[in-house]
Amino acid sequence: MPKVTFVQPDGVETVLDLPAGSTVMRGAVAAGVRGVVAECGGNLMCATCHVYTVDGAGDVFAAMTDDEDELLDCTAAPRRDTSRLSCQLGLTEGMDELVVHVPGAQT
């Protein structure tokens, strides 16, 4: 079961065991992780579930689609090379420990 650590801008961490088949966003929302707003519920419509992955870790997830790429240009917090929308980060059995950083603003 993938273990995902959410790191807040102030360093506070939340560690969740999330089921394969879910997404980083669903896990965060269900647990009420601060800073993952996900207003559209994971439909690639809002860019409010923006997270920063750890360098290189983005590779374990499915590649970014054009829609995600364009939405990431509209995030409230600055976009970085490691930016992803957490609704697009699907969790699979093979994943072990993942770390994502939550930005300071989403809306």
* Candidate residues 4, 24, 25, 29; the one interacting with another protein per rule CB under 8 A: 29
Tell me how crowded residue 16 is: count the other CB atoms within 10 A of its CB. Answer: 17
Q: Does 13 bind another protein (CB under 8 A)?
A: no
Contact 29, 57 (CB under 8 A): no
Q: Does 20 bind another protein (CB under 8 A)?
A: no
Cα gap 105→102, rounded to integer Å: 9
Q: Which residue has the tokens 């994971």?
A: 42
Interface region with another protein, contact rule CB under 8 A, candidates 1-9, 55-63, 71-79, 94-102: 71-79
Q: Does 26 bind another protein (CB under 8 A)?
A: yes
Shortest Å distance, C-beta 104 to another protein = 14
User: Considering only residues 40-69, where is the footprint of another protein by CB under 8 A?
Assistant: 40-41, 43-47, 67
Cα gap 99→52, rounded to integer Å: 9
